Structure 1
Amino acid sequence: MARSHANPGHGAHGSDTGAEHSHGHIGQATYYKVFAALMVLMALTVGAWWIEGIIALPRLLGVAIAMTIAIAKTVLIVLFFMHVKVSERATQLYAAAAFLGFAILVIITMGDYFARGWPPPPGPLP
């Protein structure tokens, strides 16, 4: 004789239809597309590093290329893998505020980095 362990009063809590949650769903095909985009961006990163080793690019241009690729990868990860794209509006605003705050810190740091004087190269002075 089997006994049922179901709690009759628990049905109201367990029958969530999701009506009060407005979260969207990201399909598996989208994840594969984002993964492919991340792999392309990784290849661009390696290619930019390889080209910079062959061609003497200005320092500012190399940093700008690397930062642009890194920001693109970060945006893809935040939007899709962290589900910010299908989250509530408040979550999207908090994520945007965090991203903006981090961008401000990076801009301040880069401003200091490029404003410093560079030490002379080692060797005899001309």
Structure 2
Amino acid sequence: MAPRIVPPKVYYRVFVVLILLTLATTGIAYLDLRFLNPVAAITIAVCKASLVVLFFMHVRYSVRLTWVFLCAGLLWLTVLIGLTLSDALTRDWLPVPAPWSATASKNRR
């Protein structure tokens, strides 16, 4: 299979989109979205990583075997994150003790 020649215009467009997504990440960092801040930042990061993998690493124009290995890697990453979360979310956490100054002030009375 002959290598596909990608016009430079595609790379420029992807670069502009990456810059816009970087600015969006910076803008979201200054917004108070409570628990959605990390979700929004990770979503934008996944979009940027997808663009880099698809266009700059030429996966978009690759053969199906490359896509199989890409999907296998993503599946393995999902399994590892799932196992880590299942451990962290089902663990009995110890309560955090009070700060030293609060404990000392209670002992004075």
Return the TM-score normalized by structure 1.
Answer: 0.64
- Deviation, 1:100, is 2.5
- In structure 2, the CA distance between the partners of 1:35 and 1:74, relative to structure 1 (3 Å rule), is same
Query: For residues 103-114 of structure 1, what are the structure 2 equivalents within 5 Å?
Result: 103-110=78-85, 112-113=87-88
What TM-score results when the alignment is normalised by the length of structure 2? 0.72
The question of whether the paired residues in 2 share the 8 Å contact of 1:45 and 1:69 is answered with yes
> Whole-Å Cα distance in 2 between the matches of residues 68 and 24 of structure 1?
30
Q: Which has the larger radius of gyration?
A: 1
Stretches of structure 1 lacking an aligned partner (at least 5 in a row): 1-20
Q: List alignment gaps of at least 5 residues for structure 2.
A: 104-109
Partner of 1:124: 102
1:26 corresponds to 2:6: yes
Summarize the alignment of residues 6-85 of structure 1 with structure 2, pairs less than 5 Å apart: 21-51=1-31, 55=32, 57-58=34-35, 61-85=36-60
Compute the displacement of 1:69 (Å): 1.0
CA RMSD of aligned residues (A): 2.6
Partner of 2:62: 87
